[in-house]
């Protein structure tokens, strides 16, 4: 591992030195220069130091997209803390697990999520004076007022206003090999796993994205990905700022606004997941705007229909689909010149990632043969937080086992066949059926359950639950399932379809044959 004293926090700092007046972020139509962004980061860093942050401390955020999110991220990086972005779709028990698993010392949260935190705060390891509240600044609905700062938290705006804007002094040097972030990804056993991403890995990922897009400081990137997502933070925001470009950012995704931003800000690189592109196309806005400034379109995220590539091409937008995981994001991308010739492929490995197909015995397979997609290189995660045994099984002799099945053709293009770990992607979010099954098996009306991902026109895939009732003849409807899951997990993980079964197909060791369910019910709907 590298021992070079350098960190991701240098990204805005160096650009502020070289071109302080260059626009770094356009957030909700307000411009923030690299100089202004760096000053905000420095104020946050001094605040963290005043609050006693030490190298290695975990700093968690439960926030919508905003400038403060980036300030906290880069300030934590400068001081050697470990940044933990939390999915704001999660509910109290899910947040409690992740915050306590990483032993978060700090928690920054938006007013929108105060009730979720208040529900579990007495069971959190976060220190009493390190709950920090922020106003999200979004539009308010008539008759609905977001709560103010509670007496058990401090308000960020008041804490940073008088902080120094100079560069902070460091108690310990931050090394490239040090952990930068922990990003949680749901596990097949039901408990989320924290992927540890280092400063070094993140820089190499920046270089890889830069090579994919041939980016430079004159570029304007349009993306409305949530920053808590590994895609939003490590495929969009960090590489964009590393390249010195201007990034257009919104609090959340709106298809009409996304399309209008392309024209309004003359976007050159645009990024959206398949579900987002579907909504943008359905909005009809692409027929009304000028997209002549665009030179690079990135997308994917789940199964992308051919008709989507065709529809975007009609507007002069040629989408390059890619492949990655939280454990090694942006590992593959489709070359622009091969988009239509190789429809269905996820592309070729990036410059800093070596990828091949392997059988269960660890033998590299020739073109055309199906096996597991494995990868190595400096963009692979360091491991899973506090899970050494699972890490050893996932990263073997430096090789990441993705759990995805696929094959490579004679020209070196890769294709996904199935997800060996049963995970499916709904609207760009990973959903692991085991997590949901584990909760539903506590329902006294359910004897056995299996959940698979099935095709959906809007979300790419959604969950279908196959249930054997505890009482013969008992009928459970989808609303019964949703009511039971209420307040236990995020809504995007809810199954959308349900089918009652007298029995599930089982192996000799009593495991459900999910492959059989997927084959028979791939297009299942209620």
Polymer length of the chain: 526
Give the tens place of pLDDT for each residue, 303-316: 677 888 989 999 99
Q: What pLDDT does residue 141 have? A: 61
Give the tens place of pLDDT for each residue, 332-350: 999 999 998 998 899 999 9
Q: CA-CA distance, 47 to 56, in Å (whole number)?
A: 16
Angle at 126 between CA 123 and CA 130, to 5 degrees: 135
Structure tokens of 270?
A: 């645009």
Tell me what the mean pLDDT of segment 275-298 comes to.
93
Residue 231's region, left for phi above 0, alpha for psi from -120 to 50, else beta, is alpha
CA 357 distance to own-chain centroid: 25
Return the percentage of the chain with pLDDT > 70, whole number.
Answer: 95
Q: What is the DSSP-derived secondary structure letter of residue 443?
A: S
Cβ contact 406:357 at 8 Å: yes
Q: CA-CA distance, 173 to 177, in Å (whole number)?
A: 11
Cβ contact 78:123 at 8 Å: no
Q: What pLDDT does residue 2 have? A: 56
How many CB atoms neighbour CB 146 within 10 A?
Answer: 13
For the cut 50, the answer to whether the pLDDT of residue 509 exceeds it is no
Q: What pLDDT does residue 302 have? A: 53
Q: How far apart are the first and last CA of the chain?
A: 52
The CATH number covering residue 429 comes to: 3.30.300.30
Give the tens place of pLDDT for each residue, 232-247: 999 999 999 999 999 9
- State the burial class of residue 29 (Cβ atoms within 10 Å of its Cβ: 0-12, 13-18, 19+): exposed
Reference 423, options 325, 511, 519; nearest CA is 325
Full domain range(s) for residue 506: 424-521
Q: How far is the CA of 231 from the CAs of 123, 289, 292, 316, 481, in angstroms? A: 30, 26, 25, 24, 30
Give the list of residues 6+ apart from residue 144 with CB closer than 8 angstroms, or none: none
Q: What pLDDT does residue 177 have? A: 96
How many CB atoms neighbour CB 73 within 10 A?
Answer: 26
How many CB atoms neighbour CB 491 within 10 A?
Answer: 10
Q: CA-CA distance, 131 to 77, in Å (whole number)?
A: 19
CA atoms 401, 402, 405, 410: torsion sign: negative
Reference 358, options 369, 345, 346; nearest CA is 369
Residue 325 lies in a domain: no
Residue finishing a domain among 144, 168, 195: 195
Q: What pLDDT does residue 61 have? A: 98
DSSP 253-305: --HHHHHHHHHHTT-SEEE--HHHHHHHHHHTGGGTS--TT--EEEE-SS---
Residue 497 lies in a domain: yes
Give the tens place of pLDDT for each residue, 50-101: 999 999 999 999 999 999 999 999 999 999 999 999 999 888 888 999 999 9
Residue 83 lies in a domain: yes
Residue 37 lies in a domain: yes
Q: What is the largest CA-CA distance in the chain?
A: 72
How many CB atoms neighbour CB 154 within 10 A?
Answer: 17
Residue finishing a domain among 163, 195, 227: 195
Give me the residues paired with residue 249 across strands. Answer: 27
Cβ contact 414:323 at 8 Å: yes
Residue identified by tokens 């928690």 is 107
Q: What pLDDT does residue 193 have? A: 93
Q: CA-CA distance, 170 to 75, in Å (whole number)?
A: 12
Tell me what the mean pLDDT of segment 378-407 comes to.
94
Residue 111 lies in a domain: yes
Strands of 273-391 (E only): list them.
Answer: 296-299, 319-325, 328-333, 348-349, 354-358, 371-376, 383-384
Give the tens place of pLDDT for each residue, 417-462: 766 667 788 988 878 787 888 889 889 899 889 999 998 988 989 9
The CATH number covering residue 82 comes to: 3.40.50.12780
Residue 219 lies in a domain: no
Tell me what the mean pLDDT of segment 222-227 comes to.
94
Give the list of residues 6+ apart from residue 394 with CB closer than 8 angstroms, or none: 327, 383, 384, 400, 401
Residue 382 lies in a domain: no
For the chain, the domain total comes to 2
Residue finishing a domain among 195, 226, 261: 195
Q: CA-CA distance, 339 to 157, in Å (whole number)?
A: 47
For the cut 60, the answer to whether the pLDDT of residue 251 exceeds it is yes
Structure tokens of 129?
A: 């004076």
Cβ contact 494:427 at 8 Å: no
For the cut 50, the answer to whether the pLDDT of residue 156 exceeds it is yes
Residue 292 lies in a domain: no
Q: What pLDDT does residue 442 have? A: 84
Higher-confidence position of 34 and 192: 34
188 pLDDT band, cuts 50/70/90, is very low
Q: What pLDDT does residue 140 have? A: 64
- Phi, psi (degrees; rounded to nearest 5) at 476: -110, 130
Reference 87, options 517, 524, 490; nearest CA is 490
**Chain-wide mean pLDDT for the chain?**
92
How many CB atoms neighbour CB 49 within 10 A?
Answer: 18
Q: CA-CA distance, 244 to 348, in Å (whole number)?
A: 26
């Amino acid at each position: 591992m590298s021992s070079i004293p350098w960190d991701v926090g240098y990204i805005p700092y160096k650009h502020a030195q070289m071109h302080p007046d260059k626009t770094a972020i356009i957030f909700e139509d307000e411009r923030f220069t690299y100089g202004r962004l760096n000053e905000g980061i420095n104020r946050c860093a001094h605040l963290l130091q005043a609050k006693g942050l030490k190298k290695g401390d975990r700093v968690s955020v439960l926030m919508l997209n905003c400038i403060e999110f980036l300030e906290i991220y880069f300030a934590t990086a400068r001081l050697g803390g470990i940044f933990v972005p939390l999915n704001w779709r999660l509910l109290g028990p899910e947040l409690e697990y992740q915050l306590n698993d990483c032993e978060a010392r700090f928690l920054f949260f938006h007013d929108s999520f105060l009730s979720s935190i208040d529900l579990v705060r007495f069971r959190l390891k976060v220190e009493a004076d390190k709950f920090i509240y922020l106003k999200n600044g979004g539009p308010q609905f008539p008759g609905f007022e977001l709560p103010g700062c509670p007496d058990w938290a401090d308000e960020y705006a008041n804490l940073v206003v008088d902080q120094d804007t100079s560069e902070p002094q460091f108690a310990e040097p931050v090394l490239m090999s040090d952990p930068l972030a922990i990003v949680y990804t749901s596990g097949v056993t039901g408990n989320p796993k924290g992927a540890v991403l280092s400063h070094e890995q993140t820089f190499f990922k920046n270089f890889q994205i830069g090579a994919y897009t041939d980016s430079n400081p004159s570029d304007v990137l349009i993306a409305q990905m949530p920053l808590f997502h590994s895609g939003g933070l490590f495929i969009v925001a960090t590489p964009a700022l590393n390249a010195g470009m201007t990034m257009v950012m919104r609090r959340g995704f709106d298809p009409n606004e996304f399309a209008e931003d392309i024209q309004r800000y003359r976007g050159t690189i645009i990024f959206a997941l398949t579900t987002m592109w579907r909504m943008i196309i359905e909005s009809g806005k692409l027929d009304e705007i000028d997209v002549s400034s665009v030179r690079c379109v990135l997308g994917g995220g789940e199964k992308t229909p051919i008709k989507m590539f065709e529809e975007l091409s009609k507007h002069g937008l040629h989408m390059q689909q890619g492949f990655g995981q939280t454990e090694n994001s942006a590992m593959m991308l489709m070359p622009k010149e091969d988009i239509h010739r190789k429809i269905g492929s996820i592309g070729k490995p990036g410059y800093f990632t070596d990828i091949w197909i392997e059988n269960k015995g660890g033998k590299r397979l020739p073109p055309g043969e199906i096996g597991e997609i494995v990868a190595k290189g400096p963009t692979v995660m360091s491991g899973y937080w506090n899970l050494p045994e699972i890490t050893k099984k996932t990263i073997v002799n430096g090789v990441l086992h993705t759990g995805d099945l696929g094959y490579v053709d004679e020209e070196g293009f890769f294709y996904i066949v199935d997800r060996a770990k049963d995970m499916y992607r709904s609207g760009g979010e990973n959903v692991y059926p085991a997590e949901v099954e584990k909760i539903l098996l506590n329902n006294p009306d359910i004897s056995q359950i299996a959940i698979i991902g099935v095709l959906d026109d809007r979300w790419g895939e959604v969950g279908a639950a196959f249930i054997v009732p505890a009482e013969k003849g008992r009928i459970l409807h989808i609303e019964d399932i949703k009511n039971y899951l209420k307040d236990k997990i995020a809504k995007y993980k809810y199954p959308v379809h349900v089918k009652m079964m007298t029995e599930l197909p089982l192996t000799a060791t009593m495991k459900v044959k999910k492959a059989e369910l997927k084959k028979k019910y791939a297009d299942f709907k209620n």
